Structure 1
Amino acid sequence: MNTMTTSILIIDDNVKWCKSLAQNFEPRGYQVSFTTSGAEALTYLADHPVQVILLDIMLGKENGLALLEEILLQHHQIPVIMITGFGSIDTAVQSLKLGAFDYMTKPLDIEELLRKIDLAASPNRHALLTDQSTRPNKHRTAQLITQNERMLELCQKAKKFAETDFPVFITGENGTGKEVIADFIHAHSSRASQGMLKINCAAFPETLLDNELFGHEKGAYTGADTSFKGVFERADRSSLFLDEIGDMPLTIQAKILRTLQSHEIRRLGGHKTITVDVRFIAASNKNIRKLLRENTFREDLFYRLDVATIHMPPLRERKEDIPLLARYFLAVYADMHATPPCELQEDVLKMFLQHTWPGNIRELKNTIHYAATLSTTGFISCHDLPPRFKQIEHHRGASNIREDMERNLILSTLKKTRYNKKKTAELLNMSRTTLYKKLERYGLSQTT
């Protein structure tokens, strides 16, 4: 069970409405903040971690769609749910074309909105793990959607770590699947029967993070009417995933180090120590060695963690996985909406392979979700993709035209030889090795 608190930013010029939403969300465990203008929102996002944004299309005199574009330009990894009071499908579709995750119309159905927020914030939006029915047979034992050698080796390394109780430290850019690997390690460990608990260290100010981790006794501070178990206690005999540990304050780092060494914690306001048996898994998207040089991360904690380390490669370094992941996300989308899965057109796949994917797997998942929502033909075409892909299409240039011609020539020759690759290579005056490389490059390797 994922107990990670979801942080929501509401952007609306109606303060009363913002407070009303917060009153609905906060008792259910959501962390809510709100701003009343675009400038205020961008300033807030620059300094605070946010998992989901609710943005009103009518933001006073400001254009909510223009603000959406600016947010996605600066913070493309944060899903944005648009709110409109007019029920205009044209406006809603326009927001989706710009890159919004979803939209809702006023008056809001709170339960439906919460469902969409949970979906937007879910780590499984960019999950690599899948079940036996959707995983390619070739790689079932890896339990990863991958044909990348580095990733397959990483999977085996993670399995070996799972057999121990060592702390595991996972690094990598945003969206590379750090939490998914943490789930994978826990699922293959002796603690798998107990659900792993998770907390995002960047989502809380210092005092709240201290409370979430270690709990408090009744009367520890004003408003502490009952005692509260922190995640260390609740994760006893299980695993605890601390995401973005590089954002953790030094004072909390010291307490984490003591817990790792002594297997004991003390609640806020408490006097007795409590023994905990917790498997510790941490992750960060930051350069920890740089933080060490800046004295913002404890050296002793780093060396305590630097026993079993895993670095998740960015998607741009495992491009052979892009077609597999894209088709998997199409299947997931189809399953969610009870529709037949869309198919990717070849020019879309080529564009995907050219893209650098700064948001990694999370960005790919969001792109597929966006395109599948807009597609009306059963195929994902270039016209269904977010606007940023238009720049890739515009800059394809003469070299890409040549590649298109070469691909068409190879395909027509294959058809003439009834897909006899030896004869095809001879007719094209190239070695079979060169032909196989070009078939792979142009997405024709599965042509029979």
Structure 2
Amino acid sequence: MLFDDPVFMSRMLTILTLSFHIIYATIGVGIPLMIMIAQWIGIRKNDQHYILMARRWARGYVVTVAVGVVTGTIIGLQLSLLWPNFMELAGHIIALPLFMEVFAFFFEAIFLGIYIYTWDRFKDQRKHFLLLIPVMIGAGMSAYFITVVNSFMNAPQGFDLVDGALTNVNPILAMFNVAVPTKVSHVLATAYMTSAFILATIAAFKLIKGSKHAYHKKALYMTMKIGLVFALAAAIIGDFSGKYLAEYQPEKLAAAEWHFETESEAPLVLYGVLDENNETRYGLKIPYALSILAHGSPNAEVTGLNEFPEEERPPLKIHYYFDIMVTIGVFMIVVSLLFWVGVKRGWRFVEGKGFRWLIVAGGPLSFLAIEAGWWMAEVGRQPWILRGIMTVDEAATTSDYVGLMFILFLMLYTVLAIGTIVILRRIFLHNPIEKELETLEPVKDGER
């Protein structure tokens, strides 16, 4: 039974933990920037609505950070418990970025605590605003260092391999491998994009439910503009990611595109199903698009999956993860662009319930795109845990209790998810914006 297979259950438990943690990690990276922008606009415009956005978002952010600490700690423990052979081989390399990730988190948490508990201690909000800079830097660096670990697993370097052991280890060189630029930039851009769209979801939902308060309209307008900027950035970085895969992980790109034969002028395939002969049926083929994605030229030759040994080919299901990610990304660009242009030109439909429901859907869909992107990244590296060096089967534990651990952690994550929702609801339902606006004093330039 699969439930008794330690390798399979180790994979399932790892993807369960990563899928749950990435929700909180995305919020942890993206929300500080939203808080900074809101507070800065509030100070510049002397607008208490934006000041209140920063205050309320920071309050909710603390809750998600607390849960993110738990799940992040679990990931570190599971690396050692579920993948002991991998940690024995590469632990002394990834230990440095993992340590730096913890340091970055503490750096963020210290200034976040000071920011939260000194809100009313600064009459000059500009001085209080400065506390957000290390919070955002810490959040970004935390994302950087943990993504470096994933990048190393995809593009290992900074060592010599002698008789199956890593020697002449240079952790700094390993941390600056070729996968880092595209992976880190994509993680940051999508975190900012998703955080903006989830805040837009809340604002749009409040307006749909009948709120006429300017607070929600301003929040919606600001977050949709930010979301558009980073959605476009994610699309551009995604193009660079395709070119990285074509050069360094061509088997992953070929599997994601169901591209079996090496050919030039290669089309990009979206959706569809494969028949028994690996022919795509019901798919949408975009002529020349894969050649452009891979090499920037419509006539470029793209390596096919048949060029690789069958045992080294990634699972073909990553094609659907790619489809989900791209489809949602395009959808969010279209919706946010329509909103921005519509507001500028006075198009009334962007203020209608139908269009606002599309915005409400955008937040959860953006999280789904984040999940699909990580599933593609992790499953697409199969069969390797350390590409070209160690397979997943070689790295996994042989313990018979992984199946039981899966059930226990599933229960834990369920409790954490429910607890997060309950606490956030109690925080905001008992403190409506009208009540909080009464407690805020106007911002005065130069006041200390």
TM-score tier by shorter-chain length is under 0.3
Higher Cα radius of gyration: 1
Q: TM-score, normalised by structure 1?
A: 0.24
Higher relative contact order (CA 8 A, sep 6+): 2
Q: TM-score, normalised by structure 2?
A: 0.24
